[in-house]
Structure 1
Amino acid sequence: SNTQYTVIESYSEHDFKVEMSVSAHARKQDPSLPECWQARLVLYPEPMGPGKIKGLLCSLDDKQVFGAQAILDVYFERWEIENSYGEIKHQMLEDSILLRSQTVDGVNQELWGILLAYNLIRVEISRIAKEAKVSPLRISFVMALRDIQDEILWCAIASPGSIPKKLRAMRERVKRYILPEKRKR
């Protein structure tokens, strides 16, 4: 919201080619930087409120290949991927470096195991959301993860016939952790 720019070319009401000054501090750090640089600015069509994201700056300047809506769509997809990485790193791995393998094949196997576990949790969240008739995004990943971890430990000592009953009970518990609807970003 406080970025200063000059519009060089207008592609549409919300899509522009802009020019911005490179700060004196940045040029002092790297004298080879130009005085100005150009980028594409895609603004959101709806006001996002104070302190919210108003638009995106990017280097994808071919408006024929990269339409404004396509850029916004890719940003949202990237945002969801970043959230997933965050859930894996901070919640599942608890910010620890967990890869212990000494070989490339071992590291690959560990990474596949982490991704598989993450996707299995997401599948279970999807099933819980379907039963609760809400979006899977409204089920708390952290609470689902913790309940699933606990249930796996209990299932290890349970009789095989009781596991489906335990999973149904877990799904009912996780429904208590339905988050409020997210406001539109």
Structure 2
Amino acid sequence: AFAQARRRVGAEPMRWLFDLLRGPAAGIGTTGAWWRGLLVCAIDGTTITVPDSPANLTKYTKHRCNNGGSGYPALRLLVLVSCGTRTVLDAVFGPTTDGETTYAPRLLRSLREGVIVLLDRNFAARTLVSAIATTGAHVLVRVKSGRHLPVLRRNRDGSYLSRLGTVEVRVIDCEITIATATGRHTGLCRLVTTLTDHRTHPATELITLYHQRWEIETAYLEIKSTVLGGRVLRARTPAGLEQEIYALLVTYQVLRLAMADATGTRPRVDPDRASFTIALNTARDLVIQAAGVIADTVIDLVGTIGRRVLADLMPDRRIRTRPRVVKRAISKYNAKGTIDRTSYKATISIDILTTPDP
């Protein structure tokens, strides 16, 4: 009966509800959401596994791998996230046969002046950067260190002006060293931005700002691991999957809005300190207990979820690092050697490099 009711409702009401709720939830005074008057956002994609049903296989495909193919088909999800609050500004999804750069232009409707978008190297395409620039938003994207970007004019902070397609950009080459108790690791990084004035937007601050891109990875962790628990979606038809994805995004967004409202009542409290797990478990308890179903006439922006979150705030963010490892190996055999999964306290040093003239 529940499955039949879901089919009668369809996906449209969930999509309308998501359109109503999506947004940054970041006021001018929200700690960590803004940088030099710009709302810090990021775009990235992920894949979500779906049931292996004949109907789903007509639209979604299985990944190829060394063992002959994955057990489940998958869909691709791309979101535009406000890094400070991890709220979703927009989202698109579809088959994995289309890549991330194919879906990304559909998110540009939610970009505007006063926004800076952080992107990884996969999105460093000329046409995409140009399309984002036409919306009035700014771009900070990592590119391959060997990519040819001619030096047009040098700046005093070590960056230089260049062109990426038809867009004037500023290039920052840097060397980043991370020191932990186990030793030091140094790597090169090249960033490209449409913020061309080195006086108003210093290179060292842009390098530090780019680390905020990882907030979108945390958002995906909360959606796929905390909410879904790593499970496969339930719907066995493409229409049902569309409804389920929008319902998942609505649930995530409602919790994030409640957390942002709660931390917003405390001066200088970063939304990063709010626990998503506490918010989710509190919401589940309220649904199971059917508590507070009928709202009072007085609007309480903090509410039960907010009070639980504020009662157990996490400590301020620390600089930590850990090696990136494959958690779901393609091979059925264990990796050779011991994998270090320890998180280490770290110190970071940044040196801006001067790119030689061609």
- TM interval, shorter chain, is 0.5 to 0.7
2:262 is the counterpart of 1:122: no
Q: 1:176 aligns with which of 311, 321, 330?
A: 311
In the alignment, the residues of structure 1 paired with residue 157 and residue 276 of structure 2 have an alpha-carbon distance, to the nearest angstrom, of: 38
Equivalent position SS for 1:42: strand
2:284 is the counterpart of 1:152: no
Equivalent position SS for 1:132: coil
Find the counterpart in structure 2 of residue 111 from structure 1: 245
Q: Sort the Cα spacing of 1:114 and 1:82 in 2 relative to 1 into closer, same or farther, 3 A.
A: same
Identity of aligned residues (%): 24
Per-residue deviation, 1:154: 2.8
- 8 Å Cα contact 1:91/1:142 also seen in 2: yes
Unaligned 5+ segments in structure 1 are 1-10, 16-39
Find the counterpart in structure 1 of residue 21 from structure 2: none
Unaligned 5+ segments in structure 2 are 1-153, 160-171, 197-202, 321-358
2:280 is the counterpart of 1:139: no
After superposition, the CA RMSD in angstroms is: 4.3
Bigger radius of gyration: 1
Per-residue deviation, 1:145: 1.1
Structure 2 length-normalised TM: 0.33
- 8 Å Cα contact 1:129/1:136 also seen in 2: yes
Per-residue deviation, 1:123: 0.5
In the alignment, the residues of structure 2 paired with residue 94 and residue 163 of structure 1 have an alpha-carbon distance, to the nearest angstrom, of: 35
Q: Sort the Cα spacing of 1:106 and 1:56 in 2 relative to 1 into closer, same or farther, 3 A.
A: farther
- 8 Å Cα contact 1:41/1:55 also seen in 2: no
- The number of equivalent residue pairs is 147
Equivalent position SS for 2:174: strand
Equivalent position SS for 2:230: coil
Write 1 or 2 for the structure with the bigger share of helix: 1
Find the counterpart in structure 1 of residue 74 from structure 2: none
Q: 1:42 aligns with which of 165, 174, 199?
A: 174
**1:46-65 equivalent positions in 2, closer than 5 A:** 48-50=178-180, 56-57=187-188
Larger relative contact order, structure 1 or 2 (CA cutoff 8 Å, min sep 6): 2
2:215 is the counterpart of 1:80: yes
In the alignment, the residues of structure 2 paired with residue 156 and residue 164 of structure 1 have an alpha-carbon distance, to the nearest angstrom, of: 16
In the alignment, the residues of structure 2 paired with residue 154 and residue 83 of structure 1 have an alpha-carbon distance, to the nearest angstrom, of: 29
Per-residue deviation, 1:184: 4.3
Per-residue deviation, 1:94: 0.7
Structure 1 runs of 4+ off > 4 angstroms? 11-15, 51-58, 62-72, 156-165
- 8 Å Cα contact 2:279/2:309 also seen in 1: yes
Structure 1 length-normalised TM: 0.58
- 8 Å Cα contact 1:92/1:145 also seen in 2: yes
Write 1 or 2 for the structure with the bigger share of strand: 2
